[in-house]
Structure 1
Amino acid sequence: MTYSFAPQSILRDVTLRDGLQLTGKMLPTARKLEIARGLLDLGVPELEIGSMARPDLVPPMANTLEVIGELTTDELARCWVWVATPRHVEKAAAAGARNFQYCFSASESHNRANIGRSTDDSLAAMPAAIDIARAVGGRIQLCIATSFTCPFEGAVAADRVLALANDPRADGADGADDIVLADTLGQAVPAQVAALVARVRSESPHRRIVFHGHDTWGLGVANTLAAIGAGANVVDGSLGGLGGCPFAPGASGNTASEDIVFATRPDWLTPATLTALVDIATPMLAELGEPNRSRTAEGSRSEAHAFEWVRPANGH
C-alpha cells in the first residue's frame, strides 16, 4: 500500500555531525564513509557529514576533512559541513565541500560557549563566509542555534530570531540559501515551533527553512511535524536519536531519522528501506556504546507481521 502525505519535506540526516559530537568517540574515516554512502544509496536526500570545530574540543569531528576528501563530487552535492568562521569555509572548500552550514546562536551566552565570540561578531563575519562559498559555486545556510531556548539564558524571544534572520549581513540577493531554526535543547513545544517557522516564512527573505529538532522532552517528532505543517522544507534527524551539543548543558539526542521518515513517509521510503535504515543504525550505535532511542526501530521488531512496516519474520 502506498501513502501520499502532504505537505512533504526533505530529511537531512545529521548522524555524522550532530549525532556523533557528544559521544566522545571518533568513528574511523572508512566507517563514516560506509554510513554516508549507505544512507545516500537508500535515498536519504541530504546529510551532514562533519564539522570544522576544533578537534581538541570536539574530537569525533577530527577526521571531517578526510571524509570530505574521499567523497565524490556527486556525493558532496548532497552533503553539508558545519562551519562557524570564514576560515572554516575556506578549509572545507579546499577539501571539496560545497555545502556549508554557517552556525551561530541567537543567545549571546551560548554563542560564546559554543563559538567563542559574540553573536554579532559571528554575524559580521558571515558576508566573508558567503563570498568564499560563492567563489567555489557552493551553497551556504544561516543556522541559528538556540532559536527557542538557551541553557544559560532561558527562553529566547522570537523577535530576536527574526532580527537575525532579517539582518542584511545574512539575507539579500547574495545572502544565505537556507535558514536553519534549531531547537538545540529540545525544549520547544509544537505550537511554538509552528509559530516561529510561520513568522520566518512570512517575515524574512524567501529561502528554504530547515528545522533542527532534539527529542530531550519527548516532542521531537511532534515538533518536526509542526514545523513541516508551518512551511519547513527540510527537517533534521539522526539515526537512533543519537546526538547533542557538547556546549549546551541539558541537550540530548536529535529526533530520530527513523521516526521522522516513518511519520512523514517520503517517496523514497519503503518497508525494505526502513529495515535497511535500522540496520545501518544498529551496529553503529553498538560500536559507540549508545542506546537506540528510535521508537520506530523498536516498533519494527514487533511480532505483528501483518503490518507491512514490521521487518520480515526471518529478519534479524
Structure 2
Amino acid sequence: MQVRTPNDQKIRMEGFPAEVTVIDVGPRDGLQSEPGWIPTEEKIALIDGLVDAGIRQLEATSFVSPRAVPQMRDAAEVIAGVDRSKGAVLTALVPNARGAERAAAAGIDAMVVFLSASESHNRKNVNRSVAQSLDGFGEVCGVAGEAGIPVYGAIATSFGCPFEGSVPVSRIVDIAKAYRDLGITRLTLGDTTGMATPPIVKATCRALRRELPETEVTLHFHNTRGVGLACVYAGLEEGVTRYEASIGGLGGCPFAPGATGNICTEDLVYLLDECGVRSGVDLARLVEVSRRLERVVGRTLPGQVMKAGPRLSLYPVDSVATACG
C-alpha cells in the first residue's frame, strides 16, 4: 500500500503561469477511435468522474454524422445524462450547420469548429479544402449566435502534416486571422500527428502573440514521438495557460499514419503539480478515473503516473525482497 510523506513541497518554476486550465478531451478525442461500442452510461460516468476530479472543461462529444464516427452517435444522450450541477463547461465538435443545430438543441456550452492547417490532411479528415471549411464555419457561427453559444476554433496538424511535412508558422497565423474575422478568438493548436517540438511550439506561440494578441491559445499535443510534455513545458515558458489532454493517454487520429494517443491528463497534472502550477485537479482522483477507463476499454492505457504514482508515493521497506548474495 502506498503512503505519502508530508514533506512534498513544490518549487514554483520562475516565469511559469501561476495557474492553468486543463481541458480533458478523452470523452471525444479519446473514445472516438475505439473499435468497440462504449455504452452511453460509461461515457456519462467518465465525464462525471473527470468533473469530480476537478476538470472544469471537457470536450464531451461530437455532433458529426453517425456514419462517419459511429462511437459518437449518442452525443445528445451523453449531454443529457451528465451531471451539470458543478458548472463544468461541456464543448462538442461540430462539422457543419446541421451539427450545430443538434448541439444547440442538446444544450452544449460551447461549439468547436475544426480544420487542418494542411490541404491534404483537411481533405482526408473532412473531405473539404481549407477554404471550404472556413466558408462553412460562417453558418455554424450563425446557428451558435442565435442560440447564444460561443464558438471556439481548432487547427489540426498545426505543427506538421504527415503528407506535406512542415507547416509554415505563417499558415497558422493566416488561419487564425480567418477565425478572428468570424469572431472566434479562442483557438486550439492541435498536434494531431505528434510532430511538434519545443522550438516549433515556441515560434508558433510567439507569432500568434505578436500578430493576434486578442486570440487566446490552447495547446493540444500528442505523444507520438515522446515529447508531448516537453512541448507543454515550452508552452508554459511562453505563458500559455490552457492545455488539452486525454485521460489515460487515450486517442489518436485515424487520418494521420502512425499517430498515437494524446498526452495523458494525469501525467500533465503531475507535471504541473511538480512545477508549482495550479490546475485545481485532484491527481489521485484522476488516477482512479483512468484505472476505471482501462477496465471499460479492456486494455492497458499508456499513462505513466497511473502506474508509478506521484514522485513521493513511497512503499514499506519490507514490501520488496532483499537481494541475496
Query: Please, what TM-score do these two structures have when normalized by structure 2?
Result: 0.86
Q: Which moved more, 1:282-291 or 1:17-26?
A: 282-291
**Contact conserved, 1:240 with 1:292, CA < 8 A, in 2?**
yes
Give the counterpart letter for 2:242 in structure 1: V
Matched position secondary structure for 1:155: coil
- The unaligned stretches of length 5 or more in structure 2 are 1-7, 318-325
Please report how far the alpha carbon of residue 299 of structure 1 lies from its aligned counterpart in structure 2 after TM superposition.
Answer: 2.0
1:209 counterpart = 2:217: yes
- The unaligned stretches of length 5 or more in structure 1 are 302-306
Please report how far the alpha carbon of residue 76 of structure 1 lies from its aligned counterpart in structure 2 after TM superposition.
Answer: 7.0
1:227 counterpart = 2:238: no
1:66 counterpart = 2:74: no
Q: Distance in 1 between matches of 2:245 and 2:69?
A: 20
Q: 1:18 to 1:311 in 2, by over 3 A?
A: farther
1:112 counterpart = 2:123: yes
Alpha-carbon displacement from aligned partner over 1:207-230 (angstroms, at most 9, x marks no partner): 321101000000111111212322
Q: Distance in 2 between matches of 1:88 and 1:254?
A: 24
Pick one of 191, 206, 230 that aligns with 2:199.
Answer: 191
Q: 1:249 is matched with which residue?
A: 257
Percent of aligned positions that are identical: 35
Q: 1:164 is matched with which residue?
A: 175
Q: Distance in 2 between matches of 1:256 and 1:113?
A: 26
Q: 1:154 is matched with which residue?
A: 165
Give the counterpart letter for 2:201 in structure 1: V
Q: 1:136 to 1:311 in 2, by over 3 A?
A: farther
**Contact conserved, 1:21 with 1:246, CA < 8 A, in 2?**
no
Q: Map of 1:20-169 to 2, 5 A cutoff?
A: 20-71=31-82, 74=85, 78-167=89-178
Pick one of 263, 276, 285 that aligns with 1:276.
Answer: 285
Alpha-carbon displacement from aligned partner over 1:225-256 (angstroms, at most 9, x marks no partner): 21232232210111111101112222110000
Give the counterpart letter for 1:227 in structure 2: G
**Contact conserved, 2:115 with 2:130, CA < 8 A, in 1?**
yes
**Contact conserved, 1:198 with 1:231, CA < 8 A, in 2?**
no
Please report how far the alpha carbon of residue 269 of structure 1 lies from its aligned counterpart in structure 2 after TM superposition.
Answer: 5.0
Q: Distance in 1 between matches of 2:203 and 2:239?
A: 10
Matched position secondary structure for 2:222: coil
**Contact conserved, 1:139 with 1:177, CA < 8 A, in 2?**
no
1:180 counterpart = 2:184: no
Pick one of 295, 298, 304 that aligns with 1:289.
Answer: 298
**Higher RCO, 1 vs 2 (CA within 8 Å, ≥6 residues apart):** 2
Q: Distance in 1 between matches of 2:278 and 2:39?
A: 32
Q: Distance in 2 between matches of 1:183 and 1:49?
A: 19
Q: Distance in 1 between matches of 2:100 and 2:253?
A: 21
- Cα root mean square deviation, aligned: 2.2
Q: Distance in 2 between matches of 1:241 and 1:87?
A: 31
CA radius of gyration, larger in: 2
Matched position secondary structure for 1:166: helix
Q: Distance in 2 between matches of 1:48 and 1:2?
A: 32
Q: 1:164 to 1:90 in 2, by over 3 A?
A: same
Query: Please, what TM-score do these two structures have when normalized by structure 1?
Result: 0.89
Give the counterpart letter for 1:50 in structure 2: T
**Contact conserved, 2:269 with 2:279, CA < 8 A, in 1?**
no
Q: Map of 1:259-270 to 2, 5 A cutoff?
A: 259-265=267-273, 266-267=277-278
Q: 1:298 is matched with which residue?
A: 307
